[in-house]
Structure 1
Amino acid sequence: MQSYEERLTAPRSWWVIAALLGIACALMLLPLGTLPMLGGLIGGTALSAVAVSSYGSVRIRVVGGALIAGEAKIPVTALGEAQALDATEAMAWRTHKADARAFMLLRSYVPTAVRVEISDPEDPTPYAYLSTREPERLVAALSSASSASSARD
């Protein structure tokens, strides 16, 4: 069985923006003196870095017969067909083709995605949309996990 793990880290430019926010905080507090300015620099940079880090820490994994995407854990037995989406098709599925009931693990800075049908009749979610940098590998891992799960049953 092929396992899969990916972390959707934030792009480098976001870290530059976090540093610039720290500088902006420092400049706002400059009229109050040197110590408030340094506090603003450190505090503003730290807070914005925490925000970027937490947003970019989401993981997608296929382990133990389950797809784990962010906070969601879906057994592969509840999944249907997985489809790798190129940048154009991914854009369509997150805009005009999107279903409001779908589970969306969306990161705008990742252009490609995978769309996985949810086949559980008890679940109203029609599909899961997962931003991923390696859609073909994720589809292969889901297919492998599904095959292994079917063989065990």
Structure 2
Amino acid sequence: MLYDERLTAPRPWWLIAALSGVCLGLILFPLGLMPLLGGLVVGTALGAVAVSAYGSARIRVVADSLVAGEARVPVSALGEAHVLDEEEARAWRTHRADPRAYMLLRGYVPTALRVEVTDPGDPTPYLYLSTRRPRALADALEAARR
């Protein structure tokens, strides 16, 4: 494996998950102590599952493939990789975005990598990958091409 990154959710999101449990418990408080406790546990668990599921996206370069979330693309079908700083990343995920592009977008990750797709049979023009280490990912893709 040449590159492996997991895009985990930020810590404050876990606090929000816990607070969702408190809110559900307070909603059920008029029904008694047991519904309050049940709401606290169930609400917290559901919030934690939601945060964990959203934050479980992974980007990997394995042998000759790029695996980004649900997408698996052979490196031979990829073209040039463009490292995007915060300002460029914001532009490519808003007004410069192509609706046909594959976007592994996490708003809490400010930097990204845009990789051209050169496969003529694929209608996807590029991959937009939120990553905390765009230069390392670009280097791993280049190493996998060799």
- Give me the TM-score of the superposition, normalised by structure 1: 0.94
Letter of the aligned partner of 2:10 in structure 1? P
Q: Deviations over 1:6-57 (max 9, x none)?
A: 0000000000000000000000000000000000000000001000001000
Q: Which residue of 1 aligns with 2:52?
A: 53
SS at match of 2:61: strand
SS at match of 2:73: strand
Q: Which residue of 2 aligns with 1:100?
A: 99
Q: Partners of 1:41 and 1:84 in 2: how far apart?
A: 43
Structure-to-structure mapping, 1:126-137, within 5 angstroms: 126-137=125-136
Q: Partners of 2:44 and 2:26 in 1: how far apart?
A: 12
Structure 1 runs of 4+ with >3 Å offset: none
Q: Which residue of 1 aligns with 2:74?
A: 75
Q: Partners of 1:92 and 1:53 in 2: how far apart?
A: 27
Structure-to-structure mapping, 1:1-153, within 5 angstroms: 3-147=2-146
Q: Deviations over 1:39-78 (max 9, x none)?
A: 0000000001000001000100000200000010000000
Q: Partners of 2:33 and 2:104 in 1: how far apart?
A: 43
Q: CA RMSD of the aligned region, Å? A: 0.7
Aligned residues: 146
SS at match of 1:81: strand
Unaligned runs of 5+ in 2: none
Q: CA deviation at 1:98?
A: 0.2
Letter of the aligned partner of 1:77 in structure 2? S
* Identity across matched positions, percent: 66
SS at match of 2:5: strand
